[in-house]
Structure 1
Amino acid sequence: MELSVSGPSFEEIQIPVPFGFVSGKWWGSKDKQPIIAIHGWQDNAGTFDPLIELLPKDLSILCIDLPGHGRSSHIPSGLPYYIFWDGLAILRRIIKHYNWRKVSIIGHSLGAAIGFLYAASFPDDTEMLISIDTVAPVIFDPSEIVKNTGPNIDKLIHYDSLGVDKMPSYKYSEMIDLVVDGHHGTLTRKSCEILMRRGMYRVKDNKYLFSRDIRLKVNRFALPSFDVTNEFAKQIRCRYLMIKAVPGRVRDNWSLFQSILETIKHSTSDFNYVEVEGSHHVHLNDASKVVPHILNFILKVA
């Protein structure tokens, strides 16, 4: 059992999958079914550390590393990541592995989109969904998808040709600088250090490599259209909480997501929407803004 800085404890786990394993941090008791927490694209299970450290210790929460992220196995070489559909399948595998029913999910960004797909695909098996700053899989203009398909295939082939020996390594401070710069000011340095606890590993000469699969950078295959996404939304029956960061993720087509939210509002009898001030990673940068809403929702009698 590994102890966190603030007191709550977690256990590192590995769940077998056909291509290796999915790693996770299981906070709290393993004697009861946990809430499943799913991180965003190129993040990892550590994204929820500050949030969980402010939640009651009697909550059981399993934070997973999606394939290719954190300490989880990468998918076999030569294959692309279909990040939304891969996540949906992995989540179902984990739930069937433990034989859980009526699951509760917290998701941020990509994790929220995966939770959306799961709640819609298995409406009778989903108790509640908490989505942080993302509603559903990202919706692109069809012309953009077509235009980028060829270049993305070439990128995938290029990344597949890069072995670990060709990957650049960095000193610890350089690695953190890269992550800070890559998020363009939306992640604090402390938040980047939290993510990198399981987002990098040490190699020779006291340098580090990213643990995530570089192929994750090619992430726009098999994206659902607005119409398909809206049909998924019609199937959501579980209790639902959307936490929107303001300004949050500025690149999303929020007007389309608002339409999807309207559909969810009519498909579930327990729809909740709140806004909190902060960036896309508000749950990591300033968890205290998010925790009260999550607690109120979890403890609320539907």
Structure 2
Amino acid sequence: MGLFRNGSKLINYLITARNISGTKPFQEVSIPVPWGVIRGKWWGPTDRRPILTLHGWQDNCGSFDRLIPLLPSHIGFLTIDFPGHGYSSRLPSGQYYDQTVYLLTVKYIEKYFQWTKMSLMGHSLGGITSYSYTMLFCEKIDFVACIDGVKPLVFRKMIPHMAKSLDRFVRNNEFAFDGTEPPSYTLEEMKRKVQAPNNNSVDLERTVYIMQRNIAPSKIHEGQYYFTRDPRLKVNPLFGFSQPELVENAQKVTCPLFISKCKDASYYEDKQNFYETLDVLKRSSADCDFHYINGSHHVHLNSPEELALLLSKFLEKYYVVDTQGGLKEEMIVREKETNSILL
């Protein structure tokens, strides 16, 4: 079975995440898109439209495995792997990962289900994507929930930033398709690599939830593993919005909006940009429910209890059962197929 076929050590290491995830049943699913498939987990009721749930940069849908079981059980959640992450297909050679790709992923999922309305939730990059999609199509959105990531980031010195990104993309694109195996590490080394970004944002014992869909056994070095996510993901975006544009268009976000900001996390841009946009949202949104949360950037994975309590109150207030756009039989990935897509 894919990731578990290379010995009992990896089985024992990863089984904890599967057991904990199983406290609230989910089904592994696959959704067709023009470049391949989007994989994910469908949690809870399958006879109604779920909340489309989007993860952060270089994470995967496993990062929600500890939060979702704490949220209301009558609400369905479709947590997906973005392109190039987890079990989802990579983009074709030469294609750049940027915000457009993530917005298109949401659009293709909307089209697949023929949803006339949507509910969105996301962390970090997923929160930015959820908010950006809402900014573009607010009339289609019931509500949006953003966990330590809301407005698109505004980069300083964009021109040298773009030049460096283009050079790095060409190198990483060649590496992604030259057939060589990526660098491999022991499990302990991989845990530390997953933990390190964003000032050691992920607790060491929680790294398993991200690793579960992101690694494969090395065919060259016995007992070592490599990351299966697309190396082109490491390249920064080429384009973005200006702060005046974002402030102006925040006025279009009129639906209920949940925003949580982790106290121990960075703002990843000028702090003022965030609060300038937030001030507009507090006036434009039907309910801008803003909270500071104790914890790091990955608080939804490390210690989700406080967040789950606040988020549950918001969801109970605004979630409406929509029986159109539920789970399709054709989406279900049978157990024998799980963990095999990238191996």
2:144 maps to 1:139: no
Give the whole-Å Cα distance in 2 for the aligned partners of 1:95 and 1:200.
29
Aligned to 1:66: 82
Aligned to 2:190: 175
Pair 73,3 (structure 1): closer, same or farther in 2 beyond 3 Å: same
Q: How far 1:202 sits from its partner (Å)? A: 2.2
Give the whole-Å Cα distance in 1 for the aligned partners of 2:78 and 2:69.
13
Aligned to 1:36: 52
Aligned to 1:300: 317
Give the whole-Å Cα distance in 2 for the aligned partners of 1:105 and 1:182.
25
Give the whole-Å Cα distance in 1 for the aligned partners of 2:262 and 2:192.
24
Match of residue 290, structure 1, among 300, 307, 323: 307
Letter in 2 for 1:156: F
Give the whole-Å Cα distance in 2 for the aligned partners of 1:154 and 1:160.
10
Letter in 1 for 2:109: I
Aligned to 1:151: 164
Give the whole-Å Cα distance in 2 for the aligned partners of 1:23 and 1:173.
27
Aligned to 1:57: 73
Aligned to 1:101: 116
**Greater mean deviation of Cα atoms: 89-98 or 155-164:** 155-164
Aligned to 1:263: 280
Letter in 2 for 1:9: P
Q: How far 1:197 sits from its partner (Å)? A: 0.6
- Identity between Structure 1 and Structure 2 (%): 33
Q: Is the 8 A contact 1:29 1:59 kept in 2?
A: yes
Match of residue 214, structure 1, among 187, 207, 231: 231
Secondary structure of 2:268's match? coil
TM, length-normalised to structure 2:
0.83
Give the whole-Å Cα distance in 2 for the aligned partners of 1:39 and 1:279.
15
Give the whole-Å Cα distance in 2 for the aligned partners of 1:97 and 1:231.
31
Q: How far 1:253 sits from its partner (Å)? A: 2.1
TM, length-normalised to structure 1:
0.93
- Deviation string 1:241-293 (CA, Å, 9 cap, x unpaired) is 11111022253322101111112122222111111111111111110020011
- Deviation string 1:182-230 (CA, Å, 9 cap, x unpaired) is 4432210122111111111223224322121111111221111112222
Aligned to 1:115: 130
2:28 maps to 1:26: no
Give the whole-Å Cα distance in 1 for the aligned partners of 2:249 and 2:279.
13
> Which runs of no fewer than 5 residues in structure 2 stay unpaired?
1-16, 320-343
Structure possessing the higher relative contact order (Cα contacts under 8 Å, 6 or more residues apart): 2
> Which runs of no fewer than 5 residues in structure 1 stay unpaired?
none
Q: Is the 8 A contact 1:264 1:271 kept in 2?
A: yes
Q: How far 1:164 sits from its partner (Å)? A: 4.3
Q: Is the 8 A contact 1:4 1:10 kept in 2?
A: no
Match of residue 184, structure 1, among 191, 199, 203: 199
Letter in 1 for 2:274: F
In terms of fraction of residues, the more strand-rich structure is: 1
2:24 maps to 1:8: yes
Q: Once superposed, which parts of structure 1, at least 4 consecutive aligned residues long, lie more than 4 Å away?
A: none
Letter in 2 for 1:149: M
Aligned to 2:252: 235
Q: Is the 8 A contact 1:130 1:242 kept in 2?
A: yes
2:264 maps to 1:247: yes
Pair 4,236 (structure 1): closer, same or farther in 2 beyond 3 Å: farther
Letter in 2 for 1:53: P
CA RMSD of aligned residues (A): 1.8
Give the whole-Å Cα distance in 2 for the aligned partners of 1:254 and 1:130.
20
